[in-house]
Amino acid sequence: MKLPDAINERIKEGYKGKKVLRKDAVKFIPMVMTGSHEEMKAIFKNSEKANAWLKANYKFVCKEFGKENIVRFTLHLDEKTPHIHAVVVPLTDDGRLSAKERFGNRNDLSDRQTRYADAMEQFGLKRGIVDSKAKHTSEGWYIGK
């Protein structure tokens, strides 16, 4: 199923709100899960370890957002560093579409990164610098390069 169709299908089956969705509603959130190039190469030298990493990531996303809200979960090995792309529909447990509630604010996102690091510690991955002032480039900029 094409991604837009999968997103709309998940919303159709899970949305319990009484209001029509806003045109500018956040219908999905894309995520990338990975580690440094060196760490990921080390994990992927061993197929059992790589498979365990993949399963641990899926378990993490299921726990954080609900298995039913995952519309894509794809391992990418076609680039320099192995990584996972996940797409999640932000439906709440009571059937509302709310990215704000599902994903939270800056502190909630930082806490999620810490939980992710804790879940990936068994693979030798560590959390990035908390409250880093690093400037992140947009996906569009990256793709353009």
CATH of the domain at 54: 3.30.930.30
Flag whether 37 is in a domain. Answer: yes
The letter for the amino acid at 106 is: R
Flag whether 71 is in a domain. Answer: yes
How many domains, in total, are found in the chain? 1
Flag whether 134 is in a domain. Answer: no
Q: Which two tokens stand for residue 64?
A: 């954080």
Q: Is 28 left (phi over 0), alpha (psi -120 to 50) or beta?
A: beta
Flag whether 135 is in a domain. Answer: no
Domain that holds residue 120: 3-15+24-126
Flag whether 72 is in a domain. Answer: yes
Q: For residues 8 and 3, what is the distance between their CA atoms, to the nearest angstrom?
A: 9
The letter for the amino acid at 37 is: H
Flag whether 144 is in a domain. Answer: no
Local confidence pLDDT in tens for the 145 residues of the chain: 999 999 999 999 999 988 889 999 999 999 999 999 999 999 999 999 999 999 999 999 999 999 999 999 999 998 899 999 999 999 999 999 999 998 888 888 889 999 999 999 999 888 877 766 666 566 666 566 6
